[in-house]
């Protein structure tokens, strides 16, 4: 098992390298490189000042060097092992102990690692709420449709799921906001952010006070997350539900199900004790594949509901030509996905005795 894990981790390295190379080349080829970025906000600087700033950056990031050199330099900074580099930018000796340095974001003027440390948890939170939610709904629907296959529920649900899938996210988001966050219609949910100002100084759990019910930090969070999560999830119902349905039907017709019936098990038990677990196996593998799309999907949702997650960051970074940031975002999200796959496979081994990695 351990060797398997190691192997998987080793395999990640070329992938991650590839990702960074890809993105780096794209950025290197693009107009409005870093140099432009450095000038943002510098609009009311003296030319000399701007020039100075440029030189500063050039020295710091070796922007005057050819792209491959820049890349290697960046890579060296990022990788946990490599050459130490001093302020003047000339190379020290090789070390295994030098930490990872994701560099500094130009437009935020802060270490990229800090920024990611702020943003990733938020996006992860969104996704970790969304995925289970999606699965619950999808599995439920999938099972019911399988149960009365060809029935009205099956057909109807199949259709409406497809329909949901086809709604553009931004439209859905804005409509939801317009109707359920608006005093003119139903002001049930907040319009922005993932927690309200008051929640900052609320206790964690909901409880009663003499003033009345206090929703507490937790409920406040949930309350804020509802609309975004709906927006994120409705799109992926269709595929999952469909998958559940087919695999359940498949397993219901399988030989072992028949064996179970031959034992005298009631249909209900056959479904729950035998078929169900087998049917969910394919869903496990899918779950990881959901992650990247969610990461990106949150991009729109985050914008609409003013949530500062990776999605937002990505847009800002890309528009701001913030090289360090874009690079890190892409490879980090790539890394997350790979980890996701790994975890999924791991769960698979737990769920299915047949596969065992050594």
Partner 1 sequence: QIDRQWLKLTEMETAMSEQSKDMRELRVAVASGAVSNKPTTNSTEANGDVAQAFKRALAASRLPDYAQGDWSVDSFSTNIKTITPLVSSDLYASNVQSNVLESLITRNPDTLEWEGLIAKSWKISDDGLVISFQMRDDVSFSDGQPLTAEDVVFSFDFIMTEAIQAPRERAYLEKIKAVKANGKYEVVFTFKEPYFEALSLAGGMSILPKHFYASYVKEPQKFNQSKGLLLGSGPYKLTDPKNWTPDKGNIELVRNERYWGDVPPSFNRILWKVIQNDSARLTTYRNGDIDSYSARPVEYQELKKDEQLIAKSQNFEYMPPTVGYSYIGWNQERAGKPTRFADKRVRQAMTYLTDVSRIIKDVQLNYAEPAVSPFSNTSKQHNGSLQPYPFNLAKAKALLTEVGYEDRNGDGVLEDKSGKPFEFKLTYFQANEDTKRMVLLLKDLYARAGVRMIPFPQEWPVMLENLGKKDFDAITLAWTSGIETDLYQIFHSSQAISNGDNYISYKNPELDKLIEQARRTVDESKRMPLWQSAERILYEDQPYTFMMRRKSLLFVDKRIHNLQMTKLGLNLGSLPLENYVPVAQQKYTQ
Partner 2 sequence: MTETTVSRESFSAHIWRKTLDGVGVKVGLAWIALLVFAAVFAPFLANSMPLLISKDGIISAPVLRYLSVEDAWVLATFFIALAVYRLRLGSGKRILLFLLGSAVAALLVNMFLKPPVLVIYDDFRTITYTDVDWRIMPPIPYAPTDYLRDLGSKGLEAPFKTEGHTHLMGTEENGADVLSRMIHACRISLSIGLIASGIALFIGVIVGGLMGYFSGIVDMLGMRLVEIFEDIPTLFLLLTFVAFFGRSLYMMMVIIGITGWSGYARYVRQEFLKLRKQDYVQAAVASGLPLSSILFRHMLPNGVAPLLVAVSFGVAGAILSEATLSFLGLGVVDAPSWGQMLDQAVKSSTFNWWMAAFPGGAIFMTVFSYNLIGEAFRDAIDPQLSRKAGVN
Partner 3 sequence: MSQPLLEVRNLHTYLQSGGREVRAVDGISFSIPKSETFCLVGESGSGKSISALSVIRLLPQDIATHPSGEILFNGQDLLKLDDPAIRSVRGSQIAMIFQEPMTSLNPVLSIGEQITEALQLHHPGMSDSEAEQRTILALEQVQMPHAARRFRDYPHQLSGGQRQRVMIAMALACEPQLLIADEPTTALDVTVQAEILRLMRKLQDDTGMSIFFITHDFGVVSQMAQWVGVMQQGKLVEVGACIDVLRKPQHSYTRQLLAALPENLSKPVLATTQNLDELSTAEQTPLVKIRDLKVWFPIKKGLFRHTVDYVRAVDEVSLDIPQGQIVALVGESGCGKTTLGRALLQLEKPTSGSVQIDGQELTGLSAHELRPLRRKMQIAFQDPQSSLNPRLLIETTLTEPMKVHGIGGNDEERIELAALLLESVQLKRDFLWRYPHEFSGGQRQRIGLARALALNPEFIVCDEITSALDVSVQAEILQLLLSIRQQRNLTLLFITHNIGVVEYLSDQTVVMYKGKIVERGKTAQVCKTPQHPYTQKLLAAVPRLIM
Site residues (vs partner 2, CB under 8 A):
11, 14-15, 18-19, 22-23, 26-27, 29-31, 158-159, 162-163, 165-171, 174-175, 178, 238, 242, 246, 249-250, 253, 255, 258, 292-293, 295-297, 299-300, 303, 314-315, 318-319, 326, 329-330, 333-335, 337-338
**Minimum CB distance to partner 3, residue 259 (Å):** 5
Binding to partner 1, residues 242-301 (CB under 8 A) = none
Whole-angstrom CA distances from 40 to 32, 64, 126 are 11, 19, 31
* Residue appearing with tokens 């990247």: 292
- What DSSP designation does 272 have? I
Q: Is 345 in the site for partner 3 (CB under 8 A)?
A: no
| Shorter beta-carbon distance to partner 1: residue 94 or 204 | 204
| Shorter beta-carbon distance to partner 3: residue 109 or 353 | 353
**Minimum CB distance to partner 2, residue 37 (Å):** 13
Question: Alpha-carbon distance 248 to 275, whole Å?
Answer: 7
**Minimum CB distance to partner 3, residue 37 (Å):** 42
Whether the CB-CB separation of 135 and 283 falls below 8 Å is answered with: yes
* Stretch 254-293: interaction string toward partner 3, x if CB under 8 A: xxx-xxxxxxxxx------xx--xx--x------------
Q: How many residues does the chain have?
A: 358
Ranges of beta strands (E only) in 52-189 are: 82-85, 91-95
59, 83, 70: which is closest to 24 by C-alpha?
70
Q: Which stretch binds partner 3 (CB under 8 A): 4-12, 29-37, 126-134, 306-314?
A: 4-12
Binding to partner 1, residues 92-131 (CB under 8 A) = 104, 107-111, 118-119, 122
Binding to partner 1, residues 42-71 (CB under 8 A) = 42-47, 49-54
Classify residue 152 as exposed, middle or buried by CB count within 10 Å of its CB (0-12, 13-18, 19+).
Answer: exposed
* Residue appearing with tokens 């981790």: 9
Whether the CB-CB separation of 75 and 328 falls below 8 Å is answered with: no
Q: Is 148 in the site for partner 3 (CB under 8 A)?
A: no
Whether the CB-CB separation of 70 and 62 falls below 8 Å is answered with: yes
The option from partner 1, partner 2, partner 3, none interacting with 238 (CB < 5 to 8 A, set by class) reads partner 2
**Minimum CB distance to partner 2, residue 288 (Å):** 10
Whole-angstrom CA distances from 283 to 143, 289, 314 are 13, 10, 29
97, 72, 73: which is closest to 85 by C-alpha?
73
280, 302, 276: which is closest to 119 by C-alpha?
302
E strand or H helix at 212: strand 212-214
**Minimum CB distance to partner 3, residue 260 (Å):** 7
Residues that bind partner 3 (CB under 8 A): 3, 6-7, 10, 254-256, 258-266, 273-274, 277-278, 281, 351-354, 358
Residues that bind partner 1 (CB under 8 A): 31-33, 35-37, 39-47, 49-54, 104, 107-111, 118-119, 122, 174, 177-178, 181-184, 187, 191-193, 197, 200-201, 204, 217, 303-306, 308, 312, 319-321
């Amino acid at each position: 098992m351990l060797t398997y894990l190691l192997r998987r981790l080793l395999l990640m390295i070329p992938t991650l390298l590839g990702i960074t190379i890809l993105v780096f080349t794209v950025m290197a080829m693009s107009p409005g490189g870093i140099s432009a970025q450095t000038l943002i906000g510098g609009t009311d600087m003296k030319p000399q000042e701007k020039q100075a700033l440029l030189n500063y950056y050039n020295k710091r990031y070796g922007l005057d060097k050819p792209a491959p050199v820049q890349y290697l330099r960046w890579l060296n900074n990022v990788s946990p092992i490599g050459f130490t580099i001093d302020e003047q930018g000339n190379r020290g000796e090789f070390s295994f102990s030098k930490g990872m340095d994701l560099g500094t974001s130009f437009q935020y003027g802060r270490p990229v690692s800090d920024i990611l440390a702020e943003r990733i948890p938020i996006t992860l939170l969104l996704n970790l709420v969304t995925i289970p939610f999606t699965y619950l709904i999808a599995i439920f629907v999938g099972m019911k449709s399988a149960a009365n296959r060809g029935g009205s529920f099956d057909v109807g649900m199949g259709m409406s799921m497809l329909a949901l899938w086809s709604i553009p996210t931004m439209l859905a988001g804005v409509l939801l906001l317009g109707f359920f966050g608006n005093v003119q219609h139903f002001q049930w949910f907040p319009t922005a952010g993932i927690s309200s100002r008051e929640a900052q100084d609320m206790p964690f759990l909901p409880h009663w006070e003499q003033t009345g019910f206090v929703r507490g930090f937790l409920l406040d969070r949930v309350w804020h997350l509802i609309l975004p999560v709906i927006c994120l999830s409705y799109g992926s119902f269709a595929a999952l539900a469909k998958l559940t349905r087919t695999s359940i039907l498949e397993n219901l017709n399988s030989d072992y199900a028949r064996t179970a019936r031959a034992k005298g098990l009631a249909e209900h038990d056959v479904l729950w004790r035998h078929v169900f677990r087998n049917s969910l196996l394919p869903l496990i593998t899918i779950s990881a594949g959901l992650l990247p799309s969610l990461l990106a999907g949150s991009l729109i949702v985050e914008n609409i509901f003013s949530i500062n997650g990776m999605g937002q960051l990505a847009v800002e970074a890309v528009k701001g030509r913030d090289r360090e940031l874009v690079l890190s975002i892409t490879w980090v999200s790539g890394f997350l996905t790979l980890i996701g796959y790994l975890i999924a496979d791991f769960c698979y081994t737990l769920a299915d005795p047949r596969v065992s990695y050594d």
